[in-house]
Chains A and B, each alone.
Chain A
């Protein structure tokens, strides 16, 4: 879908992108970085609107330097900032934007009605945008990026300014753009945490440099973490410790993470190696005569995965994840 080769962008004072080489396939890809890491610059270059200082990039197999117009016909773009005129209705606005993408008038109307419905705008689409909530405005922005049925959409910070519920809805919608609509997504965020639920692939950039590019499923699903909580009994006043010891005796090490969080003393985390681990835990707990309060799968947080990648920017990323939580 997207391929860059030592792509660089230098402004008189700053280097926004520094020899970035990427290869992004179909699916939902997260582009993560702190503010000013070069995410928006990258999107501008990929849309063929800003020439790269060095290197080359291809979108959908088209060179951004020469085929900008052809690329822009096939991709959608949702900007980070507000971009909606308040005095027109969502329908009129999106129809106009569909025509600006080259759709004939009748098709533009039909696609607008469809797209607005898919992003979850119903009766309110005939009212002027000025009266919309932030969540509704984000939906209109998303609709105008999807209305011409692109093969790929660039979503620049789509969850900005949304409350937790709105954020979850937006992330769910982004997921559906790929699974239901068959459109690939490149979504940027400065919050690492929220992308793990949504993306197939995460690219982390910092200071214009590629920090890491990996598939989220690689490390969040193959090694599932189990969280276990048990009751205490008279026989075992500290049930948690008893289970820990019993598991240790059977050769399963309990992970140390989760310390310092409230209630973490009662929760055991261990790595599931497959079906046997679940059976083992069940047997151990039953043998000890304890009650199993919970046994749930926990996906690794991407932050854990990146923890060992680069110490220098670690603090920054933790902060970002903290915001995301």
Chain B
């Protein structure tokens, strides 16, 4: 390779391609935390199809738009009709749009981890400075951030609209902040559940189906049981049932602590005492998901 190739052009010597052979690298090597951050940003971008094929950009972008459009319409209506408040609470928005969020999670969680497992790229990561825990943290953080973007963006639209419509600033800011805390919690919980399911289903199709199944079946079952309990006047049971599906769990937490109106039948959310249990269960699930992922990847190795 030490041979020098030259291309003769009209300018003669001015444009000459030198094959300079192998060059060694003695620049900086930024190590483990930089690699983890790189993996985080690559995964986060990947969650919206950036840096991937055009085909894989379609669905996440579409869902993002679908998430934001209703908020924009509500804002338009509120501004046009000079309404005194927004049609939907900040905390309620994600609950209403849960189908879109579930779809997004089902499509992107497998994209994030199943691909690495299926195409056996994982060993390449672990033959580099990062450790198992770094990989899990980067993937978890990336998907949670992607979900937070998805659920937080419409809240920003609502908030901006509310300010445009000259609604009460303090009131709106408080609601907006509560909404953000709620969707942050939701993002962490959903990311954990989605990644755990995806990490045991290397086939992407199965992963998508499994995530949708877990989210919709659990929500459907819990809502049905809650409705039955409502009819039978055993409203004490309604709150406890809410612990068994991710969406109702978040609903419970925010109606107990974040000033939200509960979406439970009868509009009765958990009491403060029950709310503490809701928070503990939510955080416990997030921690459990992290632990399971660590265990899963310790086995994958090389």
Interface membership of chain B positions 29-64, coded 1 if the CB is closer than 8 angstroms to chain A and 0 otherwise? 111101100110010000000011100100000000
Chain B contacts of A271 at CB under 8 A?
none
Which among A44, A96, A144 has the highest number of chain B CB atoms within 10 Å?
Answer: A96
User: Are B32 and A144 neighbours in the complex by a CB distance under 8 Å?
Assistant: no
User: Are A114 and B23 neighbours in the complex by a CB distance under 8 Å?
Assistant: yes
Q: Smallest distance from the beta carbon of A245 to chain B beta carbons, Å? A: 50
Quick one: which of A73, A81, A88 contacts B31, CB cutoff 8 A?
Answer: A73
Interface membership of chain B positions 1-39, coded 1 if the CB is closer than 8 angstroms to chain A and 0 otherwise? 100000000000000000001111101111110110011
B121 CB within 8 Å of chain A:
yes
User: Are A72 and B30 neighbours in the complex by a CB distance under 8 Å?
Assistant: no
List 27 A-B pairs, Cβ < 8 Å.
A43-B302, A49-B301, A50-B302, A69-B31, A72-B129, A73-B31, A79-B120, A81-B120, A83-B124, A85-B115, A85-B116, A85-B119, A88-B51, A92-B51, A99-B35, A100-B125, A101-B35, A101-B129, A103-B25, A104-B27, A107-B28, A118-B1, A118-B22, A148-B29, A181-B22, A181-B24, A182-B22
Cα–Cα distance between A103 and B30 once the two chains are bound (Å):
6
Chain A contacts of B22 at CB under 8 A?
114, 118, 180-182
Interface residue ranges of B216-243 to A (CB < 8 Å):
none
Quick one: which of A76, A86, A102, A180 contacts B35, CB cutoff 8 A?
Answer: A102
Chain B residues within 8 Å of A, Cβ to Cβ: 1, 21-25, 27-32, 34-35, 38-39, 42, 51-53, 56, 115-116, 119-121, 123-131, 301-302
Chain A contacts of B121 at CB under 8 A?
83-85
User: Are B21 and A72 neighbours in the complex by a CB distance under 8 Å?
Assistant: no
Interface membership of chain A positions 3-47, coded 1 if the CB is closer than 8 angstroms to chain B and 0 otherwise? 000000000000000000000000000000000000010011001
A228 CB within 8 Å of chain B:
no
Cα–Cα distance between A86 and B56 once the two chains are bound (Å):
13
Cα–Cα distance between A144 and B120 once the two chains are bound (Å):
14
Cα–Cα distance between A114 and B23 once the two chains are bound (Å):
8
